[in-house]
Structure 1
Amino acid sequence: MKALPLSNTSEEAIALYDEADTQKAQKKASEDNLTETVIIKEVGCFSTKQIETFKRIQNLKTAVQLGLDMHKWLMEEGLPALPAEYHALAKQVADEVLKTYPYTQLPGLPNIQDFQFVLLYRATPPTWLSDAAIRALFTKSKKTRSTDLNQVEESTLNRMLHQVGERGVDVVMLPLNFGNAHWCCVVVRVKAKRIFYYDPLNQSAYLQPAGDIAKHIKIRGLYGYDVLPETNPIQFDAFSCGVYVCWNFIRQAGAGTPVDMSVNSLPRRRFELFYYLLTGRLLTKDGSATAADDDEEKIPVPQDEDGEGDEDDVPQTQIAQ
């Protein structure tokens, strides 16, 4: 008897299936090939992958529209609010907005999805600044320093106290967001030993909780610090709280003088904030407007024969009669 030239090895096993096993295998294979679809009446059938693609395109369309609105605002409001020497820079920035893909990573920031070019579009009023924009400002403003202390992964309060104790730290800022609708902040000035709390609206509904947080920080470790409110500048609209908080931090971190945050100057402040988030650099103070104010002719105050007014003789604590 001759043996057939076949073998049933483990590598090439010969398996026998009955009809039931074959039907199960065919059913499983057909289930693996199934595609989830969404049926839209009078439109058509679309797979899940197609729906996700449509959503990404819609998000991109929204981002592009925000970018176009940003370009329009830069040219129509941002540029006129700047001194003449910055007009060329404003046009250059506006051109960069047009040619840059919205999801391009911003230079000088961590390579994460939050820090993309699209977050700059939120500098256009009346759009609110997102928490990503606030964190981007802090990252840009942060000074790199060498330290022997490792970063402590603890609660926000403990991290603040840790940073206050680090060598070379002068300003620590804690942004506060209430109800995902309003920005406030607490600022610790280490050398001055003061804790400031600031609400752009200067309303008790936000100012009091911010003050409570500042006092809690004092009680938890900064006993020798004074807790003081900041009441200026005042926000005059319903959507610029993030801009005011960012400029408060820029002024505190740079130890600079307060800038004009009035309704006429806010377009310029928004442009400067946009430019700072983009480049990490602040524009210099406007020389043209300051020079014009200094050169303006002023009518001298009338003086009496002795060269002093009667009101000068009245002490400050009394009322002139």
Structure 2
Amino acid sequence: MCYSWMMSAVDDQFHYEDAAALAKRMLEAWPFESLPGLVFGFELDWTPLYCARDGAWFHDNFIHAFMIVQADKYPNVTTLFLPSLHTPEMQPRSTLDTEPVHGHDGGSVFFLPLNINNNHWTCVLVDRSSHTLYCYDSFDKRSNQNLLAEVAEELKGKSLFETFQTVAAHSPIQKDSDNCGLCICLFVWRRFFKEAGSDYTATGLQRRRWDLLRTIVSFSDTSKAKETATP
């Protein structure tokens, strides 16, 4: 592991945004050192966070860690990962366990990441306040949107007992091969954090990767400080 592996072109573009200091800290840390405050069935360490570097596909645990931070800041947001599905379906798939959406005591927004074909992140966003289910695929492929629509109908039939409309979100469009995980995180983040912006250029997306990483690490540092201060 070396400094340039983490930084690539970050030095010149984000010199005054503390990216270099954060990268240096990551490279000096023991990879399996646990990060306080980020527990979801097991403790999170540094290794899934390396995917924040440019050109890497987001790790499941990186997405989960980011959403833990959002749920702490915005208590009405709940994240529930859906099991990976495939297109086209070679055989009838089993029904999804959507009971948590109905029985969860969380707030009005449910973020449901869905990995299609084990190689592309999409999501369904349930907004209870507007009675709307948003289906988002950053490639906007018809087969993916059809699958998301099926999931939405299943949610409406089994877990959402009020009348909901389904809306296919056709933008923003991903123009590369590795930012699908970032796109779904931004899809929900922009609803609460205006500073998340709408810059989907290569530079803008790289900056957002570091923003998400910084958000996760800052949350962990704050959690550690609280634990240390507790008698």
Residue in 2 that maps onto 1:133: 62
Is 1:278 matched up with 2:207?
no
Residue in 2 that maps onto 1:199: 137
Give yes or no for contact 1:173–1:188 (8 Å, CA) kept in 2: yes
Give the deviation of 1:215 after TM superposition. 2.1
Give the deviation of 1:81 after TM superposition. 3.3
CA deviation digits over 1:9-29, x for unaligned, max 9? Answer: xxxxxxxxxxxxxxxxxxxxx
Q: Which whole-Å CA distance do the structure 1 matches of 2:165 and 2:31 have between them?
A: 44
Residue in 1 that maps onto 2:91: none
TM-score relative to the length of structure 2: 0.75
Paired letter, 2:25? E
Give the deviation of 1:121 after TM superposition. 0.6
Residue in 1 that maps onto 2:53: 124
List aligned pairs for 1:209-220, cutoff 5 A. Answer: 209-220=147-158
72 and 222 in structure 1: CA distance in 2 versus 1, 3 angstrom threshold: farther
List aligned pairs for 1:26-37, cutoff 5 A. Answer: none
Greater strand content = 2
Q: Which whole-Å CA distance do the structure 2 matches of 1:238 and 1:209 have between them?
A: 20
Paired letter, 1:247? L
What secondary structure sits across from 1:266 in the alignment? helix
189 and 99 in structure 1: CA distance in 2 versus 1, 3 angstrom threshold: same
Q: Which whole-Å CA distance do the structure 2 matches of 1:260 and 1:94 have between them?
A: 23
Residue in 1 that maps onto 2:182: 243
Aligned residue-pair number: 198
Give the deviation of 1:116 after TM superposition. 0.9
Residue in 1 that maps onto 2:103: 162
Quote the sequence identity (%). Answer: 24
Q: Which whole-Å CA distance do the structure 2 matches of 1:258 and 1:219 have between them?
A: 35
158 and 136 in structure 1: CA distance in 2 versus 1, 3 angstrom threshold: same
Give the deviation of 1:266 after TM superposition. 1.3
TM-score relative to the length of structure 1: 0.56
Q: Which whole-Å CA distance do the structure 1 matches of 2:203 and 2:179 have between them?
A: 14
Q: Which whole-Å CA distance do the structure 2 matches of 1:193 and 1:243 have between them?
A: 25
Give the deviation of 1:258 after TM superposition. 4.8
What secondary structure sits across from 2:62 in the alignment? helix
What secondary structure sits across from 2:44 in the alignment? coil
145 and 229 in structure 1: CA distance in 2 versus 1, 3 angstrom threshold: closer
Q: 1:103 pairs with 32, 42, 61, which one?
A: 32
The structure having more radius of gyration, on CA atoms, is 1
Give the deviation of 1:145 after TM superposition. 9.6
Residue in 2 that maps onto 1:232: 171
Residue in 2 that maps onto 1:77: 9
74 and 141 in structure 1: CA distance in 2 versus 1, 3 angstrom threshold: same
114 and 203 in structure 1: CA distance in 2 versus 1, 3 angstrom threshold: farther
Q: Which whole-Å CA distance do the structure 2 matches of 1:184 and 1:139 have between them?
A: 18
List aligned pairs for 1:303-314, cutoff 5 A. Answer: none
What secondary structure sits across from 2:110 in the alignment? strand
Q: Which whole-Å CA distance do the structure 2 matches of 1:190 and 1:212 have between them?
A: 19
Give yes or no for contact 1:123–1:270 (8 Å, CA) kept in 2: yes
Give yes or no for contact 1:173–1:186 (8 Å, CA) kept in 2: yes
112 and 96 in structure 1: CA distance in 2 versus 1, 3 angstrom threshold: farther
Residue in 2 that maps onto 1:304: none
179 and 207 in structure 1: CA distance in 2 versus 1, 3 angstrom threshold: same
What secondary structure sits across from 1:106 in the alignment? strand
In structure 2, stretches of 5+ residues that fail to align are: 76-95, 221-231
In structure 1, stretches of 5+ residues that fail to align are: 1-64, 147-154, 282-321
Bigger relative contact order, structure 1 or 2 (CA pairs below 8 A, ≥6 apart):
2
Give yes or no for contact 1:200–1:231 (8 Å, CA) kept in 2: yes
RMSD of equivalent CA atoms:
2.6
Residue in 2 that maps onto 1:185: 123
CA deviation digits over 1:9-66, x for unaligned, max 9? Answer: xxxxxxxxxxxxxxxxxxxxxxxxxxxxxxxxxxxxxxxxxxxxxxxxxxxxxxxx2x
